[in-house]
Amino acid sequence: MSFETLTVTDDHNVRTITLNRPDAMNGINEQMTGELAKALKGVAKEKALRCLLLTGAGKAFCVGQDLKEAVGGDGPMDFAKRLRTGYNPVVQSLMSLKIPTIAAVNGAAAGAGWSLALACDFRIAANSAKFVAAFSNIGLVPDSAMTWTLPRLVGYAKALEIAFFSEAITADDALAMGLVNRVVETESIGAAANEFAAKLAGRATRGLMLTKQAFVRGMQQDVAAQLEYEAMLQSVAGRSKDYAEGVQAFIDKRKPEFAGE
């Protein structure tokens, strides 16, 4: 499957999707959301994949909606329709992937571009990266699930401050706030992200997928329900080939060779 606004590559069990509109700082247009939706559906169908890496071509990760598209039509953009048919399916597909997802933020991440990074499980940032909510600067509301993901990472008051003022956040400040998991030298972002992805892909994928399900469900239900959900998931994990391999490797005092099953 080939795309015009994305590049898609595989390295063993890791798929990398690169936003590829570098001349527009990877600004999102209608074509890109359509292609992202197709690319993410492809990821969900590939049983051999064990990790997804999302990054941007050129100097930016993604600066959000391409405003030239927003003001260049015959009339005002229908924002609700654009979200419901474009952005929302992409974010839902990204957040519902069972495998671990990583955003390698190689540069500026703003507006819905930052939302895409927040929708991933992990974020690795170049030390030159900047994060900007951006929406309030043009009188809009944060979208693409930013109002869901951001307060869960930094708390309600801090998330509201970030959204209201839309001040640029450096990579180091993002790390201190828990918005990113790693900060690396800009020239090392690709290698660092690939190493992180390879480590995840080499672990017990079935267990990681179930763990991800547990954490997501845990944000939406009470303790009693979560305890029961953990018991159910543990029953599934305990019957996996990866569990059997992990136990045998422990007994044999060797490194496990997980198959992701």
Q: Which structure tokens are listed for 226?
A: 């979560």
Q: What CATH number is given for 205-252 in this structure?
A: 1.10.12
Question: Count of CB atoms within 10 A of residue 161's CB?
Answer: 14
Distance CA 5, CA 80 (A): 23
Distance CA 152, CA 175 (A): 15
What is the per-residue pLDDT for 71? 67
How much is the pTM? 0.93
Element (H, E) at 139: none
Nearest to 36 by CA among 110, 95, 123: 95
Element (H, E) at 18: strand 14-19
Question: What is the pairing mode between strands 108-110 and 122-126?
Answer: unpaired
Distance CA 195, CA 76 (A): 44
What is the per-residue pLDDT for 259? 84
Question: What is the pairing mode between strands 14-19 and 60-62?
Answer: unpaired
CB–CB of 5/21 below 8 Å? Answer: yes
pLDDT over 80 at 205, yes or no = yes
CB–CB of 175/131 below 8 Å? Answer: no
Mean pLDDT over 220-225 rounds to 94
What is the per-residue pLDDT for 73? 61
pLDDT over 70 at 178, yes or no = yes
Largest Cα–Cα distance of the chain, in whole Å? 69
**Three-class SS state of 182:** strand
CATH 3.90.226.10 domain range(s) in the chain: 6-201
Q: Which amino acid is at 146?
A: M
The mean of the pLDDT values for the chain is 94
CATH 1.10.12 domain range(s) in the chain: 205-252
Q: Which residues of 48-70 are buried (b: 16+ CB within 10 A; e: fewer)?
A: ebbbbbbbbbbebbbbbbbeebb
Q: What CATH number is given for 6-201 in this structure?
A: 3.90.226.10
CB–CB of 84/132 below 8 Å? Answer: no
Question: What is the pairing mode between strands 130-132 and 108-110?
Answer: parallel
Structure confidence by residue, pLDDT tens digits, 38-85: 999 999 999 999 999 999 999 999 999 998 777 656 667 788 999 999
What is the per-residue pLDDT for 75? 66
Q: Which amino acid is at 115?
A: S
CB–CB of 103/61 below 8 Å? Answer: yes
Question: What is the pairing mode between strands 14-19 and 6-11?
Answer: antiparallel
Structure confidence by residue, pLDDT tens digits, 107-155: 999 999 999 999 999 999 999 999 999 999 999 999 999 999 999 999 9
What is the per-residue pLDDT for 52? 98
Mean pLDDT over 8-25 rounds to 96
